[in-house]
Structure 1
Amino acid sequence: MSLIPPVAKKVPAERTHHGHTFVDDYEWLRDKDNAEVVAYLEAENAYTDEQTAALEPLREKIFQEIKSRTQETDMSVPTRMGKWWYYSRSVEGKSYTVQCRCPIAGEDDWTPPNLTPGVELAGEQILMDGNVEAEGHEFFSLGAFSISEDGTLLAYSVDIVGDERYTLRFKNLETGEMLADEIPDTAPGATWAIDHSHVFYMTVDDSWRPDTVWRHKLGTPQSQDVSVFHEPDERYWVSVGSTRSEKYLMIWVGSKVTSEGWMLESANPEGDFRVIIPRREGVEYGAEHAVIGGEDRFLILHNDVVDGVKAENFVLVEAPVSDPTNMTTLIEHSADVRLEEAEAFAGHLVLSYRREALTRVAVWPLTDDGYGERHEIDFDEELFSIGMGSNPEWAQPTIRLGFTSFITPGQVYDYYVASGELALRKSQPVLGDFDASNYEQRRDWAVADDGTRIPLSIVRRVGAPEGPAPLLLYGYGSYEASIDPSFSVARLSLLDRGVVFVVAHVRGGGEMGRHWYENGKTLTKKNTFTDFVSCAKHLIDTGVTAADRMVADGGSAGGLLMGAVANLAPELFAGILANVPFVDPLTSILDPSLPLTVIEWDEWGDPLHNKDVYDYMRSYSPYENVEAKDYPAILAITSINDTRVLYVEPAKWVAKLRATKTGDAPLLLKTEMSAGHGGVSGRYEKWKEVAFEFAWVLDTVGAN
């Protein structure tokens, strides 16, 4: 017997702000300890299972395609740290990686050992086996994985629920023994002092905000741990780390628009941290230690006002560690180049930046007199992504880089600074008959309602029939996050079936610089949604696809985008795929007690205290703007233990859509009952989840 769609009961609850009352019929779904709520979610899961049962053969086929193209027994390129090469292994049939190391051959050994998946390297030690740690648990996530500077101790943390609260443990790598020290309920991450006996970690407040840094001395009980820094302002997150030189421990405090750094000599871990530059509202900065001309200096990236103009794309300056306010400009502000990071090595700097919507890397040698000539590392592809890999050694002669594109599997290079040689260490293996020349990528531009040109990245199989093709249009557009070109083994299953994959680089992201972000947040947030609609219309108008052949895809804040365009332009899409979607933003951002709310006010605005923000968010909130009209097919996926976007948001959204919308397009909700914001854990379960989504996409666009 066919199941009927679940119908959630209505329990009207009033929410009144700024003279406006909203009646929320489904707020009762927030209580996940309520048996009736769980029963509703399970009924939706059963309905989704039944409605997609016919796709099981296609799901299994896609899963097997992903599996067959993946070299399951594999290893990462070893990275040198101290007297060891560190790397991870994956093993066929195992869901999680194994962390290993082997000794270097000598002090001048900078060439990684040969990679032979499945074959042990001489002197190999297993540091941690994720499969062993995950035994008996439905969910497993590794948080911290930090080796002491002398290579004798490991600090690592695990989450077995999905709520991003980790248990920190310690292992003696010389004996293999676990230490008695164990610290529950930590945030991910751990930083060793250079004395190898003190470690710094973070805890979170009731809203899951990392707010406190603690110092732990090995061999002492947690009750004796010392709080070395606490941030009471709920707009700020706290993090702890060290400079690349490991000379200084660093605490960073940051909101969406303001940052502040604190420093302490690592050799004096029980000393007091001191501020680098006091915070000023709207000013962001980062500092990295460098030795220039024999002096300790800070390289500081900041976006403060320079010569009367806000340096929104950041400038790079240097300053003495003893007086960080005494700045000398190294790279001036540019409207076309967004500076993102400056990393210091003993003999050179590495600059990471963004130009023309693509990432770039340049090497800047240090000389006795200061600075040599900068050199940008170039790759001959229209679309690509390049960035720094793991480079833990201060005096290493190479720079580890990662490179990829939509059609080029990930590549790992070592760049030799002295010679300029670029040595390929590994190219991601893709098994079967994969040939990169069978696929093509290109840039296109749509025009937004206000005339702004929006970049599109278009990927398809060469020789696919011209004319309206099935198409998956992905978007995000928040937090200045950039959706850079990257290769996906799983995506081949779509491309080989004739589906065109497109990324809409809408405002709110960071692809085109800081102004791209500023014009897609707070009271300009609607640009994110209308940009996406403009991109969809452009793809239809240019004949790339048709409305009945296009699915929109986005997750988390990109799920907000999905909910908004579902209301704005449902006629443009055959389907909408929304992962952990932030579709009830106003309810969440009005409640300071919810996880992450207060810090989000810099991103969305503060509707609790500002009527203009309240009215603006109310005008685009997907949940509050559901109407009695035809919507495309919708698949919403969430996780019951998600602490970032609570499961209740898509649950309420689907309940209201089911009660309100017209038409007979399928509406499905799938809730993972033992996972967090990142979904299920383990590579095989993740592949099955991707196969589930792709089968739905293919069926929706008629390409299965």
Structure 2
Amino acid sequence: MQAAEVVAPVAVQQPYTVTSPNGDRQDSYYWLRDDSRTSATVLDYLYRENSYFEQYSANYQALTDKLTDEIISRIKQDDSSVPYNKGDYSYYDRFDAGKEYPVYLRKSLKDGTEQVMLDVNELAGDKDFYQIANMSVSPDQNLLAYLEDTSGRRQYTLKVRDLRTGKDLADEITGLSRSVAWAKDSQTLYVIQNDPVTLLSTTVLQHTLGKDVAKARQVYTEQDHSYYMGVGNTEDNNYVVIYLGSTVSTEMRVQDATKPDSEFTVLAPRQRDFQYSASHINNRWVIRTDWQAPNFRLMTVAADKIGYRNNWQPLVKHDDNVFIEDFAVFDNYLAINERSDGVRRLKVMPWATPEQAFYVASDEAAYVMAFATNAEPDTDWLRYSYSSLTTPESTYQYNMKTGDKQLLKQTEVLGGFDQNNYKTERVWATATDGVKVPVTLLYRKDYKRDGTAPLYQYAYGSYGSSSDPWFRSVALSLVDRGFVYAIAHIRGGQEMGRQWYENGKLLHKINTFTDFIAVTDYLVANDYVAKDKVFAMGGSAGGLLMGAIANMAPEKYRGLVAHVPFVDIVTTMLDETIPLTTNEFDEWGNPKQQAYYDYMLSYSPYDQVTKQAYPAMLVTTGLHDSQVQYYEPAKWVAKLRSHKTNNQPLVFKTNMEAGHGGKSGRFSRLAEYAQEYAFILNLLGQTE
């Protein structure tokens, strides 16, 4: 079918007023919201959009198929993770050739016997979506608690498998978040129940195996709906922990894991603009906190002195130029994952001689070091992962006493990949206010910087989530076709420290968008890429970014890809019945307040759609998405269709079986990359 024969669906417009204390707005496509997801009219429209996407993409289906095969061919299909030891077993997972899902296994350290704990392929069966979100082995090593999702809506069901028999127990609890913890008795489990409407985590349940799940004990209920919740165990398994966190405040409540009937004790009471997290080692807590330390510092307190932060003692001081991302505790060492100049690296501090702290070395300018699984603290070996845009993810173990380093595994990339054919570079673009924005580039070594290359530019820029330059084998399908692949480390993340985040949220959010556009301008002006071959992609809050730049600078982009985009920000944030809304006020602002209403409205992609020429666009969503409801991108696309003044393609695809993360199988996810890349390459007239 020729592209000209494909007719886009036109959504009808129906009057609807969105009311608020600060002004009413008309929303002609509000009718596309159906919380039940059963409306025949709405579903028919979504299916017609899917049909339009299928007809449009049929023009380049051969390219999509080729890209799918190419991307999948780089993946070693029969692969396994690096085993780690805990208790009497070595734990690991494995992918079998041709299978979508992993198999989780363990091997006895005594006799080498291998045991399959969960074969996710068997559990998934022929389900359209299936995911194991979390699993935890009981302290006595006989039971496995795991949480499954069969819809993609991130509402989980607890199941417990007896590893001695391979059978699941009768105990089953639904409507949960993804976290779980054990008491030392290996009979008491802790899970978090979600509100069935808002999907907010509200109550910590304590369930004793074999008892009626309907009578699970409520050990904690959170009244403030701006907080997320989690449960877990400390690394030494001596405590059960309830984690409570909003955008600007956190709190931890702890319970002796040997005393499941005891009360939880607050590590330090919550206060606004006060965040902390803690690990337990050798009868003391090590704490990462932003108390009088915007980039975070480390402190410590004896286990019998918890309850007040005034009892905390300094451990690692605050540094204006170094952001402390994470830490890991060992009996003899403290390991710190820190970020400076946009690079994540590892620092090791001996407890006995803290003044002799040192860094784990790297030979590359732009890279990522992060902790791998360090399951037991009584060791001198630190496990960490290392990656860059040219170096596949590698797992090392580093002896903190001797300095010996061993490569345990590097992800094998098939299809003739040779990292010597590629180059990564760090450049700095100047934002509109003069701030320097780091950008990580990937291109082939035979690339010529002559202003003719196409650009694929990615960013996220929200929630303090940093877009680190991990290796991405899928990107090779663009880079090998002459693209420059760019990660824009824009404000809203934490690549440059906490202030980088603060300057990209609330009433500074527009910095995120202008930073992204400034990166595009820099790469074009300095002849890295051609101005008429610029493509950009973002998902979720990064999809909001795509919506904003589509309105603000449409002429600078040949095409945009917006996955599960958060584009109707004002309407969503006004409605506290929408799942997860109240957790977001400190990120975006509360539009019930005039200043935030006006500011959010000024950049809201849905509200700012206007009569103008827009770039070619591919928009995706999941019908069961609980993070960004499907109707946000559906309404946005409908409004764009009625306003855009040019004939550039606008296609919209709804995954009718999945949620925020897309499809669940590994090959299905890779096929979605192929669809995106084929859309982009087709716009350039490339068929290979």
TM range (shorter): over 0.9
1:568 corresponds, among 536, 552, 566, to: 552
CA deviations 1:491-540 (Å, max 9, x no partner) are 11111111110011110111000000000000000000111111111111
2:247 corresponds, among 239, 256, 262, to: 256
User: In structure 1, what is the Cα distance between the partners aligned to 2:410 and 2:297?
Assistant: 34
Cα contact 1:574–1:701 (8 A) shared by 2: no
Matched AA of 1:426 = K
Asked if 1:343 is matched to 2:311, the reply is no
Tell me which stretches of 4 or more aligned residues in structure 1 moved more than 3 Å: 701-704
**Alignment partner, residue 165 of structure 1:** 155
User: In structure 2, what is the Cα distance between the partners aligned to 1:218 and 1:40?
Assistant: 46
**Alignment partner, residue 652 of structure 1:** 635
1:7 corresponds, among 2, 5, 10, to: 10
Asked if 1:599 is matched to 2:583, the reply is yes
**Alignment partner, residue 514 of structure 2:** 530
User: In structure 2, what is the Cα distance between the partners aligned to 1:557 and 1:75?
Assistant: 32
**Alignment partner, residue 206 of structure 2:** 215
Asked if 1:181 is matched to 2:171, the reply is yes
Q: CA deviation at 1:243?
A: 1.2
Asked if 1:28 is matched to 2:11, the reply is no
Alignment of 1:272-671 (within 5 A): 272-291=263-282, 296-305=283-292, 311-324=293-306, 325=309, 326-367=311-352, 371=354, 373-467=356-450, 468-608=452-592, 610-671=593-654
**Alignment partner, residue 147 of structure 1:** 137
Q: CA deviation at 1:144?
A: 2.0
User: In structure 1, what is the Cα distance between the partners aligned to 2:152 and 2:22?
Assistant: 38
User: In structure 2, what is the Cα distance between the partners aligned to 1:105 and 1:498?
Assistant: 53
Cα contact 1:549–1:702 (8 A) shared by 2: no
2:660 corresponds, among 671, 674, 677, to: 677
SS of the counterpart of 1:696? helix
Q: CA deviation at 1:683?
A: 1.1
SS of the counterpart of 2:63? helix
**Alignment partner, residue 62 of structure 2:** 57
User: In structure 2, what is the Cα distance between the partners aligned to 1:144 and 1:435?
Assistant: 35
User: In structure 2, what is the Cα distance between the partners aligned to 1:621 and 1:155?
Assistant: 42
User: In structure 1, what is the Cα distance between the partners aligned to 2:236 and 2:562?
Assistant: 42
User: In structure 2, what is the Cα distance between the partners aligned to 1:627 and 1:372?
Assistant: 59
Q: CA deviation at 1:69?
A: 1.5
Q: How many residues align?
A: 677
Asked if 1:129 is matched to 2:119, the reply is yes
Cα contact 2:22–2:594 (8 A) shared by 1: no
Cα contact 1:499–1:703 (8 A) shared by 2: no
Q: CA deviation at 1:105?
A: 4.8
Q: CA deviation at 1:352?
A: 1.4
Cα contact 2:22–2:597 (8 A) shared by 1: no
User: In structure 2, what is the Cα distance between the partners aligned to 1:586 and 1:142?
Assistant: 33
Matched AA of 1:420 = G
**Alignment partner, residue 20 of structure 2:** 17
SS of the counterpart of 2:240? strand
Cα contact 1:497–1:703 (8 A) shared by 2: no
User: In structure 2, what is the Cα distance between the partners aligned to 1:466 and 1:40?
Assistant: 45
User: In structure 1, what is the Cα distance between the partners aligned to 2:184 and 2:350?
Assistant: 27
Cα contact 1:284–1:302 (8 A) shared by 2: yes
Q: CA deviation at 1:19?
A: 4.6
Matched AA of 2:446 = G
**Alignment partner, residue 228 of structure 2:** 237
Alignment of 1:39-118 (within 5 A): 39-105=44-110
Q: CA deviation at 1:703?
A: 4.3
SS of the counterpart of 2:304? coil
User: In structure 2, what is the Cα distance between the partners aligned to 1:602 and 1:700?
Assistant: 39
User: In structure 2, what is the Cα distance between the partners aligned to 1:10 and 1:44?
Assistant: 16
SS of the counterpart of 2:67? helix
User: In structure 2, what is the Cα distance between the partners aligned to 1:454 and 1:694?
Assistant: 26
User: In structure 1, what is the Cα distance between the partners aligned to 2:167 and 2:635?
Assistant: 48
Asked if 1:138 is matched to 2:128, the reply is yes
Matched AA of 2:388 = S
Cα contact 2:347–2:358 (8 A) shared by 1: yes
Q: CA deviation at 1:702?
A: 4.1
User: In structure 1, what is the Cα distance between the partners aligned to 2:23 and 2:546?
Assistant: 26
CA deviations 1:595-643 (Å, max 9, x no partner) are 11111000001112x1010000011000001111100001001100000
SS of the counterpart of 2:532? helix
User: In structure 2, what is the Cα distance between the partners aligned to 1:665 and 1:327?
Assistant: 59
State, as a whole percentage, how many aligned pairs show the same letter: 40
User: In structure 2, what is the Cα distance between the partners aligned to 1:254 and 1:62?
Assistant: 41
Q: CA deviation at 1:149?
A: 2.1
User: In structure 1, what is the Cα distance between the partners aligned to 2:509 and 2:569?
Assistant: 12
SS of the counterpart of 2:24? strand
User: In structure 2, what is the Cα distance between the partners aligned to 1:443 and 1:654?
Assistant: 35
Calculate the aligned-residue CA RMSD, in Å.
Answer: 1.3
Cα contact 2:181–2:232 (8 A) shared by 1: yes
User: In structure 1, what is the Cα distance between the partners aligned to 2:194 and 2:491?
Assistant: 31
**Alignment partner, residue 114 of structure 1:** none
Q: CA deviation at 1:649?
A: 0.6
SS of the counterpart of 1:244? coil
User: In structure 2, what is the Cα distance between the partners aligned to 1:348 and 1:197?
Assistant: 33
SS of the counterpart of 1:301? strand
User: In structure 2, what is the Cα distance between the partners aligned to 1:701 and 1:475?
Assistant: 22
User: In structure 2, what is the Cα distance between the partners aligned to 1:702 and 1:314?
Assistant: 49
SS of the counterpart of 2:319? coil
User: In structure 2, what is the Cα distance between the partners aligned to 1:96 and 1:191?
Assistant: 24
Asked if 1:199 is matched to 2:189, the reply is yes
Q: CA deviation at 1:207?
A: 1.2
**Alignment partner, residue 111 of structure 1:** none
Matched AA of 2:565 = P
Asked if 1:697 is matched to 2:680, the reply is yes
User: In structure 2, what is the Cα distance between the partners aligned to 1:662 and 1:15?
Assistant: 26
Stretch of structure 1 that moved more, 157-166 or 637-646: 157-166
**Alignment partner, residue 308 of structure 1:** none
User: In structure 2, what is the Cα distance between the partners aligned to 1:462 and 1:703?
Assistant: 21
User: In structure 1, what is the Cα distance between the partners aligned to 2:626 and 2:375?
Assistant: 32
- Structure 1 unaligned spans of 5+: 107-121, 306-310
User: In structure 2, what is the Cα distance between the partners aligned to 1:416 and 1:576?
Assistant: 46
Q: CA deviation at 1:479?
A: 0.2
User: In structure 2, what is the Cα distance between the partners aligned to 1:525 and 1:90?
Assistant: 41
Instruction: State the TM-score, normalizing by the size of structure 2.
Output: 0.97
Cα contact 2:181–2:231 (8 A) shared by 1: yes
